[in-house]
Amino acid sequence: MLITGAGRGLGAEGALALAQAGAEAVLLSRTWDELDQVVKRVSDAGGRARAIVCDVTKPEQVRSAFAGLDRLDILLNNAGMNIPEPFLDVSEPHLDDMIALNVRAAFLVSQAAVRKMLQDPDRRKHGGSIIHVTSQMGRVGAERRTVYCMTKHAIEGLTKAMAVELAPENIRVNAIAPTFLETPMTASFFADPEFRDWVLSRIPLGRIGRMDEVTGAIVFLASPAASLITGTSLAVDGGWTAR
């Protein structure tokens, strides 16, 4: 199993949950100190993990990371970013950075993962699972999130197209689309009471999501329990997109 953006937030928690379910985790992130802490958490919980420092926006680093793997069964394609700002204020550097990480890097990581999976002579017997982390914003629109919505809609489409093409190889491709969670990326957003109230007003269940509610869905999609599920996006959004 390989996880991108594994140094913090959902990537770190997903690594822990999958490792506790029995997977050997390979953790990718740009920051060694964060990766080292996640490896220790996995080890303390009785799991197995190792870390590779990798900037997934650098294709040569991605190729190097995957070249060092003996085998790959599961990819959690999690690395991403968001810079909330009004549509007319979006700068070209912000636009380029978000597309580079949220779309281009996700695509290239997926390619590298599938190439590694196809090297396994027993692949069609045990299969493979790719899980893209998208967002509820990959299904709807929102103010100050035009670029983020655009990139996440792109990955929702990529999920479906990959699933259709890779089904004959017994490689399943799905997405997880969470609502707002308490993560390092969202902490500064929720410091604004007005923003927090707006979020809560949009979630029918009336609360912000918990990490374990999303990692449980990740473990499910990675497991044999989801062996007939491919090309879908599982909303873990408290009902946000049901309105």
Q: Are 208 and 170 in contact (CB under 8 A)?
A: no
Q: Are 182 and 211 in contact (CB under 8 A)?
A: yes
Strand (E) or helix (H) holding 60:
helix 59-67
For residue 28, the Cα-to-chain-centroid distance in whole angstroms is 12
Domain locations along the chain: 2-237
pLDDT digits (tens, 9 = 90+) for 193-226: 999 999 999 999 999 999 999 999 999 999 999 9
49 bridge partner residues: 25
Q: Does domain 2-237 have CATH number 3.40.50.720?
A: yes
Sign of the alpha-carbon dihedral angle for 75, 73, 211, 38:
negative
In whole angstroms, what is the distance from residue 134 CA to residue 148 CA?
10
Band (21; pLDDT cuts 50, 70, 90): very high
Residue 102 has what pLDDT?
Answer: 98
**Which whole number is the average pLDDT over 33-50?**
97
CA dihedral 22, 108, 51, 116 (to 10 degrees): 50
Q: Are 9 and 35 in contact (CB under 8 A)?
A: no
Which residues have a catalytic role annotated?
Answer: 148, 152
**Which whole number is the average pLDDT over 11-19?**
96
User: How open is the CA angle 58-60-62, to the nearest 5 degrees?
Assistant: 70
In whole angstroms, what is the distance from residue 171 CA to residue 189 CA?
37
Band (156; pLDDT cuts 50, 70, 90): very high
For residue 107, the Cα-to-chain-centroid distance in whole angstroms is 12
Band (109; pLDDT cuts 50, 70, 90): very high
Task: Give yes or no for residue 184 having a pLDDT over 80.
Answer: no
